[in-house]
Amino acid sequence: MKKILMITTGGTIACIQSDNGLVPKMSSCDIINLMPELKDICTIDTIEIMNIDSSNLSPHHWIIMLDTIEKNYNDYDGFVITHGTDTMAYSSSMLACAIKNLAKPIVFTGSQLPIKAEGTDACRNVYDAFLAACSDNCGVFLAFNGLIHKGDCTKKVYSENFTGFLSINQETAGTSDNGKIIWNTLNKKPESKVVFYKDISEKVFVLKMIPSLKPEIIDVLVNIGYRAVIIEGCGAGGVPTEECENNFMPTIKKAIEKGVAIVCATQCLYDGVHLDKYPAGIMAEKYGAISCKNITLEKALVKLMIGLGNNMNIKELKEYIEND
């Protein structure tokens, strides 16, 4: 039997009702004791590294997760991380990008209802996560509602529906079927030694483009010390140009000249960024803007944090993001 470490971090799955609503209070042992059927598929150890509402997640929590996996890496065949759904796509993207040459499965999961709630989706999700963690498929994954997603292309798209997450611009990694995981993709074990990247910069800002937004906001962000700005543009990644009273091009050009990375994302879920399609994108790219292409905002954010934490310049960041 495989030996799996379950790492708990809180979230809805660990919540109980209080006078102030749902709060994460259940321990890792509490959760595992509610699912005795897991003992039939693997040997399990548990560790609770935090017990928070995932909306309170900060980058230092990612370092705790990475440290925990690194310290226990050689002692286990796989890892299950229970996590709040609100920021789970950020955490799964971070671990997928921050661990190079991963030769074991790390599977995130959570639930839309607490594990003790009537009709909860928690037990199914946890069981599927353990099935995936017991496989020989290497990588970071997210198990939810019978689907196994690649950890670096997921997005939470429902606040209550049990579907919860979707894979964006990629097919799902696998599905759960009668106690088995049917994988669509299999990752071979890398020959090189695993590496953990834990130098992370928080100086990344996400700016949502709306019709009333003024270009000066980028000057403000640069002046207060941000080293990268992700602009969630319209459609294929567009921003207002010289044809509009709120022309963003001069401030984008100025920011890049100061060494600040400007990264073009899209507010659309699917099909990605295409800077070669319209004058705004062509001009932004000419000035040195970086395209998110088909990756999610969550992945772009964590890659910028890792890149800046490892002292990448704009040219290096462009290659790191665009040649994903």
Q: Active-site residues: which are they?
A: 12
Return the residue matching tokens 């310049």: 313
Coil, helix or strand at residue 79: strand
- Strands 15-18 and 21-24, sheet pairing: antiparallel
Query: What is the rounded distance in angstroms from the CA atom of residue 33 to the CA atom of residue 304?
Result: 39
Q: What is the DSSP letter of 299?
A: H
- Amino acid identity, position 240: P
Q: Which tokens go with 283?
A: 């001009």
**Closest by CA position to 129, among listed 7, 302, 299:** 7
Return the residue matching tokens 């705790």: 64
Coil, helix or strand at residue 154: strand
> Dihedral sign, CA of 169, 88, 232, 284?
negative
Coil, helix or strand at residue 236: coil
- The distance of Cα 95 from the centroid of its chain, to the nearest Å, equals 8
* 107 in Cβ contact with 81 (< 8 Å): yes
Q: Which tokens go with 48?
A: 């609770």
15: which strand partners? 24
